[in-house]
Amino acid sequence: MHDIVFVAAPSDAISADIARRWQFPVAGDVPDGLYLRMQDGSLGLYDGADRQQKHAVSVNFLSPQSQYRKAHGGGRGEPVVKAIGMKGSDDYRVIDATPGLGRDAFVLASAGCHVTLIERSSVVAALLEDGLRRLKDSDPLLAARLTLLHGNSAEVMQYWDQSDVDAVYLDPMFPHRKKSAMVKKEMRLFQQLLGDDPDADALLPPARQLAKNRVVVKRPNSAEPLGADKPSMAITSKKHRFDVYICHNA
What is residue 68's three-state secondary structure?
helix
Q: Are 107 and 88 in contact, with CB atoms under 8 Å apart? A: no
Do 128 and 17 fall within a single domain?
no
Do 68 and 103 fall within a single domain?
yes
Do 165 and 108 fall within a single domain?
yes
> pLDDT value at position 133?
96
Query: What distance in Å separates the CA atoms of residue 188 and residue 185, rounded to the nearest whole number?
Result: 5
Do 166 and 212 fall within a single domain?
yes
Does 28 map to a domain?
yes
Do 37 and 71 fall within a single domain?
no
How many domains are there within the chain?
2
Does 183 map to a domain?
no
> Is 171 flagged in the annotation as binding?
yes
> Is 196 flagged in the annotation as binding?
no
CATH code of the domain in which 74 resides? 3.40.50.150
What residue numbers bound the domain in which 201 lies?
64-177+195-246
Does 239 map to a domain?
yes
Does 189 map to a domain?
no
Do 141 and 228 fall within a single domain?
yes
Do 70 and 152 fall within a single domain?
yes
Do 35 and 113 fall within a single domain?
no
Do 170 and 216 fall within a single domain?
yes
CB-based contacts of 92, cutoff 8 Å, min separation 6: 84, 85, 86, 112, 113, 114, 166, 167
Does 14 map to a domain?
yes
Query: What distance in Å separates the CA atoms of residue 215 and residue 170, rounded to the nearest whole number?
Result: 8
Do 40 and 128 fall within a single domain?
no
Do 173 and 83 fall within a single domain?
yes
> Is 155 flagged in the annotation as binding?
no
- 3-state DSSP helix/strand/coil percent for the chain, to nearest 5? 35, 20, 45
- pLDDT string in tens for the chain (250-residue length): 457 899 998 778 889 999 999 999 999 898 988 999 999 899 999 998 876 666 789 999 987 777 777 676 556 678 999 999 987 767 899 999 999 999 999 999 999 999 999 999 999 999 999 999 999 999 999 999 999 999 999 999 999 988 899 999 999 876 555 544 434 777 778 788 887 666 788 999 999 999 999 999 999 998 889 887 899 999 998 889 999 999 988 7
Q: Are 149 and 95 in contact, with CB atoms under 8 Å apart? A: no
> Is 201 flagged in the annotation as binding?
no
Do 42 and 123 fall within a single domain?
no
> Is 208 flagged in the annotation as binding?
no
Q: Which H or E element spans position 43?
A: strand 42-47
Does 40 map to a domain?
yes
> pLDDT value at position 107?
93
Query: What distance in Å separates the CA atoms of residue 235 and residue 233, rounded to the nearest whole number?
Result: 7
Does 56 map to a domain?
no
Does 21 map to a domain?
yes
